[in-house]
Chains A and B, each alone.
Chain A
């Protein structure tokens, strides 16, 4: 298994500002994933973050809005830039040790006002 720590657990931010979410894993992993869970909806993959290369973004998500860093095999950050109320969501970090068996952090609950 993997233990994932996310910070902050929640935040309330002003529109137009940016928030950086940190994800720390207790073991080295090749791929880390960032998901968004909008209120009352399912999880949507934002991007896959590989150490040493650019993140791969899913359709509808762009690097300028959601820049990702992956400086080593146990850590990643996701920044939500120039926030608007529509960005209010839970953001989740995830890793997989085997195909499909994902482990998730507890998430960051973001409210943009």
Chain B
């Protein structure tokens, strides 16, 4: 079945450091790809998405590019802030609205 693999955390960075969280997927169809974020004490919320190959999703300084050839959707940010500390989930859907999530990566940013 479809699956998503994320790099294990926690990832600990200093403020203004560069962030990469790796995400790769396997899917039988042609998936849409997503990053969701869960801030402490809050529910999950959509961070960004890409629906076809070479699309770049972006939001709040975060970016991810849909790479069909490497089946990847790595999340990047050039300069993280303490407020970016959260759990990040990579996800995909190939059948309508049913989402398959990765295990989540905890990001901790120190001032």
B contact residues vs A (CB 8 Å cutoff)? 32, 34, 36, 42-46, 49, 51, 89, 91-93, 96-104
Looking at B45, B49, B97, the one whose CB has the most chain A CB atoms below 10 A away is B97
Smallest CB-CB A-B distances: 7 pairs: A96-B97, A106-B43, A100-B93, A104-B44, A104-B43, A42-B101, A42-B103
Given contacts A31-B97, A92-B43, A105-B43, contact A100 B89 (CB under 8 A): no
- Give chain A residues whose Cβ lies under 8 Å from the Cβ of B93: 99-100
Q: How many A-B residue pairs have CB under 8 A?
A: 55
Looking at A41, A92, A99, A104, the one whose CB has the most chain B CB atoms below 10 A away is A99
B106 shortest CB reach to chain A, Å:
10
Interface size class of A (residues with CB under 8 A): 20 to 34
- Give chain A residues whose Cβ lies under 8 Å from the Cβ of B42: 106
- Give chain B residues whose Cβ lies under 8 Å from the Cβ of A31: 97
Which of B36, B99, B102 contacts A45, CB < 8 Å? B99
Given contacts A41-B103, A42-B103, contact A100 B44 (CB under 8 A): no
Can you give 22 contacting A-B residue pairs, CB < 8 Å? Answer: A4-B43, A33-B97, A33-B99, A42-B89, A42-B101, A42-B104, A43-B89, A45-B98, A45-B99, A92-B44, A94-B99, A96-B97, A99-B51, A99-B96, A100-B34, A102-B36, A102-B97, A102-B99, A103-B45, A103-B46, A106-B42, A106-B43
Given contacts A42-B89, A99-B93, contact A104 B45 (CB under 8 A): yes
Interface string of A18-62 (1 = CB under 8 A from B): 000000000000010100000001111100100000000000000
A101 touches B46 (CB 8 A): yes
How far apart sit A58 and B93, CA to CA, in the bound complex (Å)?
A: 15
Known: A100-B99, A104-B44. 14 other contacts (CB 8 A): A41-B103, A43-B101, A45-B98, A45-B99, A94-B99, A96-B97, A99-B32, A99-B97, A100-B92, A100-B97, A101-B34, A102-B97, A102-B99, A106-B42
How far apart sit A96 and B89, CA to CA, in the bound complex (Å)?
A: 17
- Give chain A residues whose Cβ lies under 8 Å from the Cβ of B101: 42-44
Interface residues of A in 83-108 (CB under 8 A from B): 92, 94, 96, 99-107
